[in-house]
Copies of this chain bind each other. A is one copy, B any other.
Amino acid sequence: MKDFMKYAIKEAYKSLENDEVPIGAVIVIDNKIIAKGHNQREKSQNAIRHAEINAIEKACKKMNSWRLDNAELYVTLEPCPMCAGAIANARIKKVVYACKEKTSQDGLCDLILSSKRLNHNTQIVFDEKYSEECSNLLSTFFKNKRNKNN
């Protein structure tokens, strides 16, 4: 099995190059990457342009289906409520994330993905392998931002 998180991290670096919060995602079906996405909120000035949403839209287009039942999504950061909801709406089978959102103590991501409302369950996995790398990528980005603004 490929190390898919590496490809999600590559996507996060694309955000970083554009001075965006570095978050990346890839969607995998049958052990193949079918879609990639990175955060583009600032460039697009569009509140919904998170990495996961961009990847989900591309995957739906590629599969010509709003249902991505057999898909797995790899993302560098724990999904926000919007993205967790989009993952559930697309019936994605499994989400793997590399680092925890600092503000995620409210447990919303887990609550949304385990909700019974869609008669669908998405398995959610916290994979620590690249946790430090993804976390450092984010903290360095915000530290540099603060230094620029001081």
Whether A90 is near chain B, meaning CB under 8 Å from some CB there, is yes
Do A56 and B66 touch (CB < 8 A)?
A: no
Q: Are A86 and B116 in contact (CB under 8 A)?
A: no
Work out how many copies of this chain go into the complex.
2
- Asked whether any CB of chain B lies closer than 8 Å to the CB of A75, the reply is no
**Is A83 part of the contact surface with B, judged by Cβ < 8 Å?**
yes
Known contacts A81-B84, A82-B84, A82-B85; can you find 10 more A-B pairs with CB under 8 A?
A44-B60, A46-B57, A46-B66, A48-B86, A48-B90, A81-B85, A81-B112, A83-B85, A103-B118, A108-B117
Chain A contact residues, CB within 8 Å of chain B: 41-42, 44-50, 53, 56-57, 60-61, 64-68, 80-86, 88-91, 101, 103-104, 106, 108, 111-112, 115-118
* A-B contact list, 21 entries, CB within 8 Å: A41-B66, A44-B60, A46-B57, A47-B56, A47-B90, A47-B91, A48-B53, A50-B89, A80-B89, A80-B117, A81-B82, A81-B115, A82-B82, A82-B88, A82-B89, A83-B85, A84-B85, A85-B85, A103-B118, A106-B111, A106-B117
